[in-house]
Amino acid sequence: MRDELAEYYIRRGAFLTGTFELTGGGTSDFYIDGRLIATYPPALRLIARMHAALIAEHDLLGLNATLVGPALGAVPIVTALGLELDRAFVIDRGKAKGHGRGRRFEGTFADGPRCLIIEDLITVGSTLQDTVRTLREEGREVDAALVTVDRQEGGPEALAEMGVTVHALLTQADLRAADAAR
């Protein structure tokens, strides 16, 4: 399944090499556009099945745990995984909205305190670290995260320092290898 997923990234132009400006500053010699994958039903179904298999393999989700997906990139993935597992989920807006109920997390948490974070991409881990900190401040427990692609730029190591294990379906090295094989 990993090879099939990597091939989707290559065929759909979601993995590109060249020179790209990064959001946090600096440049990179590759770009990963996970939205081209997460909005393509065959790839999204595959991602959900692969994440479900990782959850079962590592016993990452108890009966009363909540799936949490940071906006925007993880929303289709956590939705597909919720459907695959027949489980409700919560979306992390990244910050509390300034109107209505002023909530940061949309959806209803399960009865238990445990959360499993689902993310599309991890670079240095700052988005996931923020989500983990906020969940823990609210009394939630987080010890694992599932990501579709690890850019291999220190994100999993940064999360490990917080006691969170990151499980990735693919790495940028996997995507480079799939691209080179074409």
Q: What is the pLDDT of residues 112-147, one digit of tens each?
A: 999 999 999 999 999 999 999 999 999 999 999 999
pLDDT at 180: 95
Inside any domain, residue 117: yes
pLDDT at 62: 84
pLDDT at 153: 94
Q: Give the chain's domain count.
A: 1
Taking the chain, what is the end-to-end CA distance rounded to the nearest angstrom?
Answer: 18
The count of other CB atoms within 10 Å of the CB of residue 91 is 19
d(CA 176, CA 102): 42
pLDDT at 102: 76
pLDDT at 11: 97
Q: 35-57: string of b/e by CB count within 10 Å (b at 16+)?
A: ebbbebeebbebbbebbbebbee
pTM of the model: 0.94
d(CA 3, CA 170): 9
The CATH number assigned to the domain holding 48 equals: 3.40.50.2020
pLDDT at 26: 80
Inside any domain, residue 120: yes
Q: Counting every residue, how long is the chain?
A: 182
Inside any domain, residue 103: yes
pLDDT at 133: 97
Q: Residue 117's beta-bridge partner residues?
A: 68, 145
pLDDT at 25: 75
Inside any domain, residue 9: no
Residues of the chain with pLDDT under 50: none
Inside any domain, residue 25: no
pLDDT at 22: 78
Inside any domain, residue 64: yes
Residue 113, domain extent: 41-171
DSSP 12: T
